[in-house]
Amino acid sequence: MAFMIAQRAYIKLYLISMVEQRRGYGYQMLEELKEEFKPFGYVPPQSEIYRALHELVQEGVLYRTKHLKGNDPSVDFQEIVLYHFTDDGLEKAELYKKQVKVDLDRCIGMLNKAVADNY
Amino acid sequence: MAFMIAQRAYIKLYLISMVEQRRGYGYQMLEELKEEFKPFGYVPPQSEIYRALHELVQEGVLYRTKHLKGNDPSVDFQEIVLYHFTDDGLEKAELYKKQVKVDLDRCIGMLNKAVADNY
DNA sequence: CTATGAACATTGTGTTCATCG
DNA sequence: CGATGAACACAATGTTCATAG
């Protein structure tokens, strides 16, 4: 059992939720998460977001589609990669989330215990 | 800013508290911590305890004294290393604890947020 | 087996670089 | 610059080994 939850798992959790809701692409999700965690002084590194997304693809949870960002190719040629759940992706994702939940609770317990024990 | 609190810092916190209370030595503190975290399935590795203690000595918080475990040398020759606060060690330790507290609260906040956001 | 310590190996992560339109 | 990706480097760990009594 590792000491704390890994950053990777933490980020995957958010990515799954974001794919559940809107159709997002990496860079945008990165920017959203940066904003989200600003109050905590935590800046999720770009590489971790992409690594997490690639892992989720590797694990058969997500698949990728390429699109142009704007609707009019003459205006915007920027390619982006959208992520969607595979056939059994949602199922796998929910299972993963359950496992992470257990770990989150464990970590919260240990941190709260440290506060109770040492202050 | 790192993602989560380091195991090292977490352990140092407990070691400081343990030195504050009883006079303990490494192996004993290790065993106590193992017992303490059993409910969480977390087994603090032996190497981390010694590394943490050595760092606290390095930082001028603690100093070491060598003793025989038993009072009667003819019975028990086992050498142990006891740790005590240096002159300004307690002061340094309190400062360190304050800093760790900030990080603990930050981490608890981020983990609770993850639960709130994704479940 | 208790007790301390260090060496070694590895994994996660941070930083930098590369590419493309 | 927005967007994706990979290479590289490193620090924090996990595991194993060494020593002593």
CB contacts of B16 in chain A (<8 Å) are 118
Determine, for residues A115 and B101 on separate chains, whether the beta-carbon distance falls below 8 Å: yes
Q: What is the DSSP letter of B66?
A: E
Q: Model confidence over A12-38: pLDDT tens digits?
A: 999 999 999 887 898 999 999 999 999
Q: Give the domains, in start order, of chain B with CATH numbers.
A: 7-118 (1.10.10.10)
Q: What is the DSSP letter of B87?
A: T
How crowded is the C-beta side of B67, counted as CA atoms within 13 Å? 14
CB atoms within 10 A of CB A72: 8
From the CA atom positions of chain B, what is the Rg in Å? Answer: 17
Closest Cα to residue A13, out of A29, A31, A35?
A29
Q: Model confidence over B39-92: pLDDT tens digits?
A: 999 999 999 999 999 999 999 999 999 888 766 656 667 789 999 999 999 999
Using a 7 Å CB cut-off, which residues contact strand D? A 2-3, 25-28, 30-31, 46-47, 50, 53-54, 64, 69, 78-81; B 6-9, 45-48, 51, 77-79
